[in-house]
């Protein structure tokens, strides 16, 4: 079914507010989740609301956090999230990074002690909409086998990038360092679909097509994705003095305890390099160059990175955002949560 963006956001906000988030935090969380669904990133949209609602209701997200921004150098800082909602903490930290990069040319801000922050291109697009380059990366719970390993160690540790063009668009990258994000498994579960056998392994380490049978995810491109996950964990975890590797708390364990996840925002101001106008013009040119590359057999057009999301945005603006019926039913119901996420096996339904 299809919903207007403002209606989806309002349903999500109401549910998270009822679960216990204050209005401001619920509003930002709903904005980040709607942002994801509006781009076709359904793995990080409304499908997550019930999980968040359960964690909030059980006290595993601080609904009254003492957020503090600590400037640690001319172009660096740490945002203390105090176990609060990750969406708003990461957003406020990016606001600080934007201010700092406007002044200093660059900014590197760590965000610590937060819960899950969703589709992290939300934060890089904050920077790009201010004419800056945004980079963000974060830890997530251990569910990925290291190259050559049979047990999970790293999370799906995503990396996002956004840069502005001269015509209001952005070139973006937003990817988990796994073949697929865990949310894609959740989405397949919610739609009762099978998954390709290249995404994940079962408890024997064998590839599986059943989303209910997943025991660990596979990194992209073997040792290369494994190395990127390591880099994300070092920069957004170890650098901030946070738990790292398989000591990162699981999303689905101890729903009554605060999480201590880390995220790192890097913002670069093109004014301190080639100049804003030149930079934006060249981004526009490179997007156009890419669109003009001769397509390979089976492709009608080469898209610039992120253009797949831009196409979905246009469709949804006209026709409404596509939402799974069961999720819509849950959102408009009075149920806060069905107590289905709080258990020790992150991979079980
Ligand atoms: P994906 O595989 O759907 O897309 C990866 C990238 O490829 C995107 O930048 C997308 O725009 C680009 N792309 C896809 N098709 C394209 C095409 N035809 N032409 C050009 N570019 C194309 O993304 P993935 O890895 O499934 O991640 C989904 C979301 O999950 C992201 O928003 C990520 O931030 C989020 N995530 C969040 C986590 C967290 O703990 N907060 C953990 C892991 C993922």
Q: Does ligand 1 come within 6 angstroms of the Cβ of 118?
A: yes
What number of H helices and E strands is found in the chain? 10, 11
* 74 Cα–ligand 1 center, Å: 32
State how far the Cα of 341 lies from the Cα of 255, in Å rounded to an integer. Answer: 8
**Which tens digit of pLDDT belongs to each residue from 303-328?**
999 999 999 999 999 999 999 999 99
The mean per-residue pLDDT over the stretch 238-258 comes to 95
pLDDT-derived band at 184, boundaries 50, 70, 90: confident
pLDDT-derived band at 204, boundaries 50, 70, 90: confident
**Which tens digit of pLDDT belongs to each residue from 256-308?**
999 999 999 999 999 999 999 999 999 999 999 999 999 999 999 999 999 99
Q: Take atom 24 of ligand 1 and give the residue whose Cα is closest.
A: 175
Domains of the chain: 2-274+313-332 (3.30.1370.60)
**Residue 265 a catalytic site member:** no
Contacting residues for 15 by C-beta, under 8 A, at least 6 apart: 49, 53, 331, 336
Q: How far apart are the first and last CA of the chain?
A: 24
Q: Measuring CA to CA, how many Å separate 12 from each of 7, 53, 186, 227? A: 9, 10, 18, 36
The mean per-residue pLDDT over the stretch 103-111 comes to 98
Mutate to test the pocket of ligand 1, among 29, 119, 175 (most ligand atoms within 8 A of CB): 175
The mean per-residue pLDDT over the stretch 336-343 comes to 87
Does the pLDDT value for residue 349 go beyond 80?
Answer: no
pLDDT-derived band at 85, boundaries 50, 70, 90: very high
From the list 44, 116, 187, 337, the catalytic residue is 116
State how far the Cα of 113 lies from the Cα of 119, in Å rounded to an integer. Answer: 18
- Ligand 1 atom nearest 172 alpha carbon: 9
* 242 Cα–ligand 1 center, Å: 25
Three-state DSSP class for 97? helix
Mutate to test the pocket of ligand 1, among 34, 286, 308 (most ligand atoms within 8 A of CB): 308
Q: Does ligand 1 come within 6 angstroms of the Cβ of 176?
A: yes
Looking at 155-306, list the stretches that DSSP marks H as alpha helix, in order from N- to C-terminal side.
Answer: 182-191, 223-236, 276-292
């Amino acid at each position: 079914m299809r919903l207007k963006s403002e209606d989806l956001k309002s349903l999500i906000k109401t549910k998270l507010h009822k679960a216990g988030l204050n209005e401001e935090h619920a509003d930002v969380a709903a904005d980040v989740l709607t942002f994801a669904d509006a781009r076709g990133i359904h793995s990080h949209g409304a499908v997550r609301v019930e999980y968040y609602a359960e964690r909030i209701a059980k006290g595993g997200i601080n609904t009254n956090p003492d957020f503090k921004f600590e400037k640690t150098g001319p172009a660096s800082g740490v945002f203390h999230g105090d176990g609060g909602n990750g969406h708003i903490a990461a957003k406020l930290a990016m606001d600080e990074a934007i201010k700092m990069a406007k002044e200093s040319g660059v900014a590197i801000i760590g965000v610590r002690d937060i819960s899950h922050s969703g589709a992290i291109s939300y934060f890089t697009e904050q920077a790009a909409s201010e004419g800056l380059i945004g980079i963000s990366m974060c830890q997530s719970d251990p569910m990925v086998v290291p190259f050559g390993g049979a047990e999970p160690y790293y999370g799906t540790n995503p990396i996002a990038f956004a840069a502005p063009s001269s015509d209001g668009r952005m070139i973006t990258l937003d990817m988990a360092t796994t073949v697929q994000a865990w949310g894609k498994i959740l989405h397949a579960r919610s739609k009762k679909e099978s998954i390709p056998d290249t995404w994940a392994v079962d408890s024997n380490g064998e590839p599986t097509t059943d989303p209910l049978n997943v025991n660990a995810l596979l990194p992209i491109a073997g040792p290369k994705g494994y190395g990127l996950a390591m880099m994300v964990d070092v920069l957004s975890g170890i650098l901030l003095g946070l738990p790292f590797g398989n000591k990162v708390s699981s999303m689905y364990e101890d729903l009554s305890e605060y999480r201590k996840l880390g995220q790192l925002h890097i913002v670069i101001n093109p004014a301190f390099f080639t100049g804003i106008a030149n930079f934006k013009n060249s981004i526009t040119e490179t997007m156009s160059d890419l669109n003009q590359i001769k397509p390979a057999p089976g492709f009608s057009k080469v898209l610039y990175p992120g253009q797949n999301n831009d196409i979905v945005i246009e469709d949804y603006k006209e026709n409404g955002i596509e939402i799974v019926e069961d999720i819509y039913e849950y959102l408009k119901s009075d149920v806060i949560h069905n107590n289905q996420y709080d258990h020790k096996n992150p991979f079980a339904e």
